[in-house]
Structure 1
Amino acid sequence: MKIVAFGASTSSTSINKALASYAAHLIEGADVIVLDLNSYKVPLFSEDKEKEIGQADDAKTFLADIAQADALVISFAEHNGSYSAAYKNLFDWATRIERNVFANKPAVYLSTSPGPGGAQSVLAAARGSAQFFGADVQSSISVPNFYENFDLEAGAFKNQDIAEQINQAVSKL
């Protein structure tokens, strides 16, 4: 099984990328590809820019990278209660090429933040729109207080309850 995972953030120290990678690697025998959103350079989306350049090449690459997956693990970063601007921009370009961005693939949706909210707002938005963009969401989990619950050096959860929830979520893939 080929799993494509990514954190919907461009931070070089993205906790959402760390969470997505961790979760994807729990799937025994899976071939895991972790995408870095910094690899996709697209201009700020507007209809005027789209008329000028057509389809953004890196949005096509993003879609091709997703297409190679059997399943997806995505962790959504929350910026002021919504998607990160970089992810939303890439996603907007991708939907102009193929509205069914996630190609009806099974997915686990995650979110985390340093605080107690665990990026629940953006996760709710992502879940609410998933059906319109071809994501077959099998499970979703919001992880609060990331740094208190996850040991970045060890690459593992300190909180065993959350670790078990993540394990159960990815087992549905």
Structure 2
Amino acid sequence: MAAILAFAGSNSSTSINFKLVKLTTSLVQNHDIQTLNMAEHPFPMFSEDLEKEKGYAASLKELKANINGSDGLILSVNEHNGNPSAYFKNVLDWLSRIDRKFLEGTKVLLMSTSGGKRGGKGSLAVVENMLPRFGAEVVATFSLPSFNDNFSEEGILDEGLKEEHQNALNTFLDSLK
């Protein structure tokens, strides 16, 4: 049984990426899953001055400990103007200051969704390129386009996308064995 940490790169209380994370974790059995709602985890905007003056917040140290205590991450990143949100980039900036390789040895299922037809693929590509710099191994990716048309409380509506999502999840889970 692997320890999996799951969260979205969004701090919105209505995050569609967090909804995708919750669906994904509901499909996982026989693993220890911790799901974080990042809307409950505010972080100040990174600055070297703030880092020198106040150091690292307890919530940041706790997030790093949660990451280090997991074998894998289920992460869904939102997109703002073709890139990851400032919130998510800020979280990565803070974490990398504590330990540049804070994701060393961590397997990642990286996902994205948006209301548009590209499904956050711009952000997904940026983050997929970025995470290995911190030691992560992105083992599978999935993008859900047109969230409002393809998602309901029952899950992913389009059968092809549903199968693609399940395949990505299976690849991730198989990598944890």
Query: Normalized against structure 1, the TM-score is what?
Result: 0.93
Instruction: Give the aligned residue type for 1:163.
Output: K
Q: TM-score scaled to structure 2, two decimals? A: 0.91
Q: Which runs of 5+ in 1 are unaligned?
A: none
Letter in 2 for 1:68: G
In the alignment, structure 1 residue 59 sits paired with structure 2 residue 65 = no
1:5/1:20 contact within 8 Å kept: yes
The residue number in structure 1 matching 2:89 is 88
Higher mean displacement: 162-171 or 50-59:
50-59
Q: Is the 8 A contact 2:11 2:40 kept in 1?
A: no
Post-superposition Cα deviations, 1:60-88, rounded to whole Å, max 9, x if no partner, equal 11111112212111000001111112221
CA RMSD of aligned residues (A): 1.3
Q: Percent identity, please.
A: 37
Write the distance in 2 (CA, Å) between the matches of 1:94 and 1:169: 26
1:1-173 to structure 2, matched below 5 A, reads 1-151=2-152, 153-154=153-154, 156-172=155-171, 173=173
| Structure 2 segments unaligned to the other structure (5+ residues) | none
Q: CA deviation at 1:168?
A: 0.8
Partner SS state of residue 92, structure 2: helix
Secondary structure at 2:73 match in 1: strand
String of CA shifts for 1:23-63, please: whole Å, max 9, x gaps. 23322222221111133332211111111112232211111
Q: Which amino acid aligns with 1:121?
A: G
What displacement does 1:7 show? 0.8
Q: Which runs of 4+ in 1 moved over 4 A?
A: none
CA distance in 2, matches of 1:135, 1:22: 23
- Contact conserved, 2:11 with 2:42, CA < 8 A, in 1? no
Question: Which shifted more, 108-117 or 27-36?
Answer: 27-36
**Residue by residue, what CA displacement relative to the aligned partner does 1:117-151 show, whole Å, maximum 9, x if unpaired?**
11111100011112101211111111100111111
User: Per the alignment, in what secondary structure is the counterpart of residue 102 of structure 2?
Assistant: coil
Q: More deviation in 23-32 or 3-12?
A: 23-32
Q: Partner of 2:13: helix, strand, or coil?
A: coil
Judge conservation of contact 1:3–1:69 (CA < 8 Å) in 2.
yes
- Paired residues, what number? 171
